[in-house]
Amino acid sequence: MIKKTIFGIFSILMFLSCTSDDDEYRNNPNLVDLNFRIQLNLDLPEYNKLQFPGNSFTTYREGIKGIVVYNINNTQYIAFELSDPNHPPGDCSAMVVEGITAKCTCDDGNEYNIITGELTSGTGQYSMKPYRIERRGNFIEVYN
């Protein structure tokens, strides 16, 4: 009986201490939450390279400062915001993608891995903001 009570209390404490994965990104004062939904048709030449693992597509027309979509293995895709999460949006906060690295153009040298979103060089406490992504047939849908 005591074991069940201790297990129950421990389970409740674990449940109460858990937070959503999105909390880290919602609490970032530099990036606002936008509501958007885009579809990328892989049959179109503009998105053709997303049909092959290890390739990415970048657009600066959506998101705060842009979005990068990366094909991990044709069944897993990842999408991130291209506004440096450790700067308020401004002239230099838009990142440029080179290979699997997103580089901020501000003077601090922030660089992020576009597969994990983690800061790999520079300073800051936030990772890249992820967006939701789904593949349905030859369409990839990115949304927030």
User: Mind listing the pLDDT tens digit for each residue in 3-61?
Assistant: 554 444 444 444 444 444 444 455 899 999 999 999 999 999 999 999 999 999 999 99
- Note whether residue 11 is domain-resident: no
- Determine the structural domain holding residue 88 and report its residue range: 29-143
Average pLDDT on 99-128 reads: 96
Q: What are the tens digits of pLDDT across the range 76-99?
A: 999 999 999 999 999 899 999 999
pLDDT at 27: 84
For 14, what's the count of Cα atoms within 13 Å in the CB-facing half-sphere?
A: 6
Amino acid 26: pLDDT:
57
Q: Is the pLDDT of residue 127 over 70?
A: yes
Classify residue 90: in a domain, yes or no. Answer: yes
* Unique residue bearing structure tokens 């040298």: 109
Res 21: pLDDT: 46
pLDDT for the residue numbered 10: 46
- Distance, in Å, from the CA atom of 52 to the CA atom of 48, rounded to the nearest integer, reads 8
Classify residue 41: in a domain, yes or no.
yes
Assigned domain for 15 exists: no
Per-residue pLDDT at 139 exceeds 50: yes
Q: What pTM was computed for the model?
A: 0.81
- The verdict on residue 101 lying in a domain is yes
The whole-angstrom separation of Cα 100 and Cα 134 is 20
In a domain, 16, yes or no: no
Domain-embedded: residue 20:
no
The residue whose two tokens read 């992820």 is 130
What pLDDT does 3 receive? 52
Write the CATH number for 65. 2.102.10.10
Phi, psi of 127 (to 5 degrees): -90, 170
Average pLDDT over residues 105-118: 95
Q: State the pLDDT at residue 2.
A: 61
Dihedral angle over CA of 48, 60, 34, 39, nearest 10: -20
* 18 belongs to a structural domain: no
What's the number of domains the chain is made of? 1
Q: How far is the CA of 53 from the CAs of 43, 79, 98, 118, 139, in angstroms?
A: 16, 14, 16, 20, 15
Q: Identify the bridge partners of residue 56 per DSSP, sorted by sequence position.
A: 70
